[in-house]
């Protein structure tokens, strides 16, 4: 249920996984408060209706919200048996509360690169002060009301315990944080190849959420790389429907969260066609008092004979206040299929720390090596200028300007100094 007020909208259930876990884990959904754009609701250029059937990762409430905020949807079509040279770039700014609704049709035998970029944007000084105040007030409300709400929930058995909550949902929170949002739906016809890169990096006093849905037909290959590089609150959802025989998903998600940032992820691979493949690799670093929830589901649906799916996550914990929730799930309604899942969660081993300290590094410097590797990967693999700029900007905030530009120089060597 979505709740509307004069100035903002309350989304009650986003990132709901196909299979629920215990309510007491507070990991079955994401609740968030988002700004309401004045006079929104009229879509002057709607997408073709076929995109309405596509399941998106963050769920129908987020889809409805973005549809209500975007005045003009954007449609791209890649002609059959062609390779699009320039990437399709979708960009939103949190400072400007930008939302985008995009539909992409990749015709038979075609190949395309799609880049989704969430950036902080240029801040209005007065608006930035309002956002900071809203965040502080919301956190105070949470701190003041946590015990009372927990007791009330326990007594009444309310649904509140099933949710991961962004701090702006607290009672009395006056405003939503500056928010960017992207809704992306892709149809990959048979024998196509799509490369999707998501580069997400907004500021600590901003939030971003991104809901993506892909429908992959016979022999389609979907290569997805996600980089969640920080933000006050970031919600990500990806649903890939492998409807055609031998359709394939390769998903590589890398994330970093620090301070009191919140990261909430929902990945769903629906395996419908015969001999489909899903390879899902998640890895990230959590520091300070970051909160992260990951739901990763491989759904082996009846009729998906010979399908195989693997999902694995590696989490590096670098802070004593970190809260990490990982929910890898395999659903199976078919014989002669294979599904594997697992998660490795830990910190830097004492042996590694001792080895690096013996070479003159402090513990903090040793731990930062892992963070550096993540940001270097993001910078090097940014396929065009805007995503590259976001990766460098986030690296500067986390690691400092000198380190970020060392990576930048390395990426220019890798790409020959030439970016779109």
| Predicted confidence band of residue 284 (pLDDT cuts 50, 70, 90) | very high
Over residues 75-82, the mean pLDDT reads 98
The confidence band for 218, taking pLDDT boundaries of 50, 70 and 90, is very high
Looking at per-residue pLDDT, the higher value among 171 and 209 belongs to 209
pLDDT score of 156 more than 50: no
What pLDDT is recorded for position 170?
A: 36
Which range of 67-81, 282-296, 357-371, 391-405 scores highest in mean pLDDT? It is: 282-296
**pLDDT value of position 169:** 38
pLDDT score of 51:
96
Residue closest to 88 by CA, chosen among 182, 162, 219, 15? 182
75-108 residues labelled b (16+ CB within 10 A) or e (exposed): eeebeeeeebeebbbbbbbbbbbbbbbbbbbbbb
**Three-class SS of residue 127?**
helix
The reported pLDDT for the residue numbered 302 is: 96
Given this model, what pLDDT does residue 391 score? Answer: 96
Least confident of 111-125, 164-178, 260-274, 341-355: 164-178
Average pLDDT (338-357) is: 87
**Position 130 pLDDT exceeds 70:** no
DSSP 71: S
Q: CA 365, CA 373: separation in Å to the nearest integer?
A: 13
pLDDT greater at residue 132 or residue 269: 269
- Rounded Cα gap, residues 273 and 283, in angstroms: 28
Res 311 pLDDT > 80: yes
In the prediction, which pLDDT does 42 show?
A: 56
φ/ψ of 229, rounded to 5, equals -105, 5
Please report the pLDDT score of residue 258 as a whole number.
Answer: 96
How far separated are the first and last CA of the chain, in Å rounded? 42
Q: Look at residue 419 in the predicted model and tell me its pLDDT.
A: 59
Write out pLDDT tens, residues 223-261: 999 999 999 999 999 999 999 999 999 999 999 999 999
In the Cβ-directed half-sphere of 87, how many Cα atoms lie within 13 Å?
21
* Per-residue pLDDT at 353 exceeds 70: yes
Q: What are phi and psi of 67, to 5 degrees?
A: -60, -35
pLDDT tens for 160-208 read: 445 665 543 333 334 678 999 999 999 999 999 999 999 999 999 999 9
Q: Specify the pLDDT at position 140.
A: 38
Q: Does residue 148 surpass a pLDDT of 90?
A: no
Q: What is the pLDDT of residue 162?
A: 52
Which tokens sit at 243? Answer: 């409807």
> If you average pLDDT over each of 145-159, 248-262, 366-380, which comes out highest?
248-262
Q: Which residue has the higher pLDDT, 118 or 125?
A: 118
DSSP classification of residue 374 = H
Model pLDDT, residue 2: 57
C-beta of residue 206 within 8 angstroms of C-beta of residue 273: no
| 292 closest CA partner among 329, 254, 330 | 254
Task: Please give the share of the chain, as a percent, with pLDDT higher than 90.
Answer: 66
Helices (H), 157-214: none
**pLDDT for the residue numbered 408:** 65
Mean pLDDT of 316-329: 94
Higher pLDDT, 37 or 347: 347
Contacts of 399 (CB under 8 A, 6+ apart): 368, 371, 372, 375
Q: Helix, strand, coil % (nearest 5) of the chain?
A: 25, 40, 35
Average pLDDT for the chain:
85
Q: Which residue has the higher pLDDT, 77 or 21?
A: 77
């Amino acid at each position: 249920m979505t709740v509307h007020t004069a100035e903002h909208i309350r989304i009650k259930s986003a990132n709901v996984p196909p299979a629920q876990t215990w309510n007491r884990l507070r990991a079955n959904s994401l609740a968030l408060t988002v700004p309401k754009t004045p006079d929104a609701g009229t879509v002057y250029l709607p997408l073709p209706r076929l995109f309405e059937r596509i399941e998106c990762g963050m769920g129908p409430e987020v889809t409805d919200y973005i549809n209500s905020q975007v005045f003009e949807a954007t449609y791209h079509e890649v002609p059959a048996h062609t390779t699009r040279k320039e990437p399709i770039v979708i960009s939103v700014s949190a400072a400007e509360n930008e939302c985008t609704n995009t539909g992409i049709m990749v015709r038979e035998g075609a190949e395309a690169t799609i880049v989704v970029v969430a950036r902080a944007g240029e801040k209005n000084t007065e608006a930035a002060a309002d956002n900071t105040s809203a965040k502080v007030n919301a956190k105070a409300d949470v701190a003041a009301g946590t015990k009372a709400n927990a007791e009330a929930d326990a007594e009444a058995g309310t649904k509140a315990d099933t949710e991961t909550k962004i701090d702006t949902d607290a009672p009395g929170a006056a405003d939503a944080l500056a928010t960017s949002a992207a809704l992306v739906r892709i149809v990959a016809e048979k024998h196509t190849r799509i490369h999707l890169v998501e580069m997400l990096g907004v500021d600590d006093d901003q939030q971003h959420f991104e809901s993506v849905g892909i429908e992959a037909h016979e022999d389609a290959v979907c290569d997805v790389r996600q980089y969640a590089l920080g933000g006050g609150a970031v919600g990500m959802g990806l649903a890939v429907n492998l409807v055609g025989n031998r359709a394939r998903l390769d998903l590589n998600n890398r994330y970093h969260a620090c301070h009191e940032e919140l990261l909430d992820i929902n990945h769903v691979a629906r395996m419908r066609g015969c001999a489909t493949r899903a390879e899902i690799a998640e890895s990230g670093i959590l520091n300070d008092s970051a909160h992260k929830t990951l739901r990763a589901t491989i759904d082996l649906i009846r009729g998906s004979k010979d399908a195989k799916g693997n999902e694995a996550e590696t989490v590096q914990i670098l802070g004593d206040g970190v809260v990490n929730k990982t929910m890898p799930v395999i659903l199976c309604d078919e014989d002669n299929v294979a599904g594997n899942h697992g998660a490795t969660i830990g910190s830097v081993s004492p042996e590694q720390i001792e080895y690096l300290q013996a070479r003159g590094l402090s513990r903090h410097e040793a731990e930062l090596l892992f963070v550096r590797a993540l940001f270097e990967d993001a910078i090097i693999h940014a396929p065009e200028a805007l995503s590259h700029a976001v990766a460098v900007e986030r690296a500067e905030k986390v690691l400092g300007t000198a380190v970020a530009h060392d990576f930048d120089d390395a990426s220019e060597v890798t790409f020959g100094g030439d970016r779109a």
